[in-house]
Amino acid sequence: MTLAEIREEIIDILHDIAPDEDLSELKDDVDFREQLELDSMDFLDIVMELRKRHRVQIPEEDYGELASMHRTVTYLEPLLKDVARVS
């Protein structure tokens, strides 16, 4: 997956988890929790959805790497580089 595809995938996951949130103005360098009304369970849902969709294992100590869009995409890029985008 490309960086743009990973970003689209994260937006899709966020939309599923928080369908009432406006994701059109999402800033890449600002933490998700500062921009969206996400709680700890929502954050875990993001991790679980990545595991379900792409079999990506994210250790608990790395959860902080998923704090913002930029950090999430940067973290996932090497893990998903050989993965085809899900339609």
| Element holding 80 (H helix, E strand) | helix 69-80
Domain ranges of the chain: 3-19+27-80
pLDDT, tens digit, for every residue of 36-50? Answer: 988 889 989 999 999
Residue 28 has pLDDT above 70, yes or no: yes
Q: What is the mean pLDDT of residues 16-38?
A: 92
Would the pTM of this model clear 0.85, i.e. be above it? yes
Question: The domain 3-19+27-80 is classified under which CATH number: 1.20.120.720, 1.10.1200.10, 1.20.58.220, 1.10.10.10?
Answer: 1.10.1200.10
Residue 84: partners with Cβ closer than 8 Å, 6 or more residues away: 1
- Distance CA(36)–CA(22), nearest Å, equals 8
CB–CB of 50/13 below 8 Å? yes
